[in-house]
């Protein structure tokens, strides 16, 4: 990434040559396939699909409004990360360092432990639908085999750091998700009056934490913070791209919202109405596939499994690329390298080192399961990331480093405070669960 900076009259810092890039491309125009689609597709994995599926199976359409709120929350958070990058020319990690070294003390252990556990989680999530539809060993070895293959293919596809190729592949996967998941939701002939009633905010008895989890958890991962990195790889490097970025981000999360609502519809129509309970975790999607096979035949079940796989594998590609970029930036900054140093960018040696870290060590967890100590550490660190992102964005977007015209308005500050409060509650709840579980 080229991040040489030069001072501007407005007090902002932008990448050297950024204006030339914008000028050569003419007026910035939005295209359907952009960084927003990548971050949204990456953030919505199998776990998010299960969460909304279970919400539909437990409460029908009652929590539809919470799923919509969750989409809006992600729009604000990702817009903040993108606005920081375009307005200042600096990565989100450079912004965090301006808040103090404590951010590195948190982020360093988090990204290492997160990558180790998430690598195994993402590979197994991609393997489950393949092992179900195309069994080879007819045992748990199918999940291990397909998990390893998924990890290796994901690593190979992102190894050289070709962002535009990543965009195209993710677009294909999103297309598969749209045809299968959204198509299945439409095929259920949803109860439209009940669906519309679900847009009225209400919290089911005993469902406060679950409601907050739906609102705050869907599509919420470390990849939200990767948006700024993908903006630079796209070539959107100056404030002239601000309007395009906002359209890109909003449209992408509207698309992801359609996926989320579709899963809730499927849960409400297929499971809630029939009183069918499913397991938590990725296994819940296999339970749904069984229900589909029983009611509509193996073909419909396999169609859904394709959507399941597309959702999971898009997360593999996005994380293997985006979080590796974040690690390269973090480690390069720790080593004192300049922002424009190749080792801090896409395809550099630190980027590749993290791709390997995501791929090979986690394969051990596919064989031995996930050790309790690692899971607790992962839960403790992970419970603070979304509050960390929301709170640090609140400070960064009001800081002296932010050009005045791009700082938060009062109402954006109110929104971020509310979002931060939601994530603090969820973080404390997850922290309690990590130790009590």
Contact of 239 with 86, CB cutoff 8 Å:
yes
- The structure tokens listed for 108 are 């360093």
- Mean pLDDT value across residues 102-131: 91
Q: Would you call 91 helix, strand, or coil by DSSP? A: coil
- Mean pLDDT value across residues 138-167: 93
- The structure tokens listed for 136 are 């080879």
Query: Using CB atoms within 10 A of its CB, is residue 374 exposed (0-12), middle (13-18) or buried (19+)?
Result: middle
| pLDDT value at residue 9 | 36
| pLDDT value at residue 432 | 81
- The CA–CA distances, whole Å, from 153 to 16, 157, 284, 316 equal 35, 6, 25, 10
- Mean pLDDT value across residues 159-164: 90
Percent of residues, the chain, with pLDDT higher than 70: 89
Spatial distance between the Cα atoms of 237 and 17, rounded to a whole number of angstroms? 9
Spatial distance between the Cα atoms of 265 and 192, rounded to a whole number of angstroms? 10
- The CA–CA distances, whole Å, from 156 to 121, 124, 321, 352 equal 18, 18, 11, 10
- The CA–CA distances, whole Å, from 307 to 108, 300, 301 equal 34, 11, 10
| pLDDT value at residue 3 | 38
pLDDT digits (tens, 9 = 90+) for 374-420: 666 666 667 778 889 999 999 999 999 999 999 999 999 999 999 88
Tokens 């125009």 sit on residue: 29
Contact of 74 with 286, CB cutoff 8 Å:
no
| pLDDT value at residue 375 | 61
| pLDDT value at residue 218 | 59
Nearest to 98 by CA among 265, 318, 321, 339: 339
Question: What residue spans of 188-297 are helical by DSSP H?
Answer: 192-197, 208-217, 227-234, 242-266, 283-296
Q: C-alpha dihedral over 235, 238, 239, 244, to 10 degrees?
A: -10
Q: At 280, is the pLDDT very low, low, confident or very high (cuts 50, 70, 90)?
A: low
Q: At 2, is the pLDDT very low, low, confident or very high (cuts 50, 70, 90)?
A: very low
Q: At 198, is the pLDDT very low, low, confident or very high (cuts 50, 70, 90)?
A: very high
Spatial distance between the Cα atoms of 56 and 54, rounded to a whole number of angstroms? 5
Q: What is the pTM assigned to this prediction?
A: 0.87
Mean pLDDT of the chain: 85
pLDDT digits (tens, 9 = 90+) for 204-219: 877 777 787 777 765 5
Spatial distance between the Cα atoms of 355 and 153, rounded to a whole number of angstroms? 12
Contact of 123 with 363, CB cutoff 8 Å:
yes
Q: Is the pLDDT of residue 331 over 90?
A: yes
- Mean pLDDT value across residues 357-373: 85
Contact of 160 with 141, CB cutoff 8 Å:
no
For the chain, which domains are there?
30-436 (1.20.1740.10)
């Amino acid at each position: 990434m080229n991040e040489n900076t030069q001072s501007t009259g407005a007090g902002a810092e932008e990448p050297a040559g950024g204006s030339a890039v914008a000028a050569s491309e003419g007026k910035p125009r939005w295209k359907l396939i952009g960084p927003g689609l990548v971050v949204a597709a990456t953030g919505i994995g199998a776990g998010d699909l299960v969460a909304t599926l279970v919400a539909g199976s437990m409460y029908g359409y009652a929590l539809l409004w919470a799923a919509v709120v969750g989409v809006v929350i992600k729009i604000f958070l990702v817009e903040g990360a993108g606005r920081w990058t375009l307005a200042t020319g600096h990565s989100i990690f450079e912004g965090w360092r301006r808040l103090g070294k404590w951010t590195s003390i948190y982020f360093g252990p988090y990204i290492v432990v997160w990558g180790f556990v998430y690598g195994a989680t993402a590979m197994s999530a991609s393997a489950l639908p393949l092992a179900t539809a195309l069994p080879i060993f007819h045992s748990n070895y199918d999940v291990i085999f397909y998990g390893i293959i998924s990890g290796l293919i994901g690593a190979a596809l992102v190894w050289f750091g070709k962002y535009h190729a990543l965009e195209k592949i993710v677009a294909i996967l999103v297309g598969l998700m749209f045809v299968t998941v959204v198509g299945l939701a439409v095929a259920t002939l949803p109860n439209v009056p009940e669906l519309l009633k679900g847009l009225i905010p209400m919290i089911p008895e005993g469902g406060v934490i679950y409601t907050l989890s739906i609102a705050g958890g869907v599509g919420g991962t470390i990849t939200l913070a990767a948006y700024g990195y993908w903006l630079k790889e796209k070539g959107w490097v100056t404030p002239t791209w601000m309007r395009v970025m906002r359209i890109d981000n909003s449209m992408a999360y509207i698309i992801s919202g359609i996926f989320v609502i579709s899963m809730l519809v499927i849960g409400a129509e297929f499971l809630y109405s029939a009183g069918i309970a499913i397991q938590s975790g990725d296994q819940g999607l296999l339970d749904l596939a069984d229900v589909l096979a029983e009611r509509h035949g193996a073909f419909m079940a396999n169609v859904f499994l394709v959507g399941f796989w597309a959702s999971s594998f898009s997360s593999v590609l996005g994380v293997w690329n985006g979080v590796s970029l974040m690690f390269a930036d973090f480690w390069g900054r720790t080593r004192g390298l300049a922002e424009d140093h190749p080792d801090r960018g896409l395809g550099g040696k630190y980027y590749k080192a993290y791709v390997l870290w995501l791929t090979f060590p986690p394969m051990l967890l596919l064989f031995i399961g996930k050790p309790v100590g690692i899971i607790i550490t992962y839960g403790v660190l992970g419970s603070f990331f979304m509050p960390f992102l929301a709170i640090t964005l609140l400070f960064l977007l009001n800081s002296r480093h932010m050009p005045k015209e791009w700082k938060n308005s009062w109402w954006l500050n109110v929104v971020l405070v509310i979002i931060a409060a939601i994530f603090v509650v969820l973080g404390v709840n997850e922290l309690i669960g990590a130790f009590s579980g």
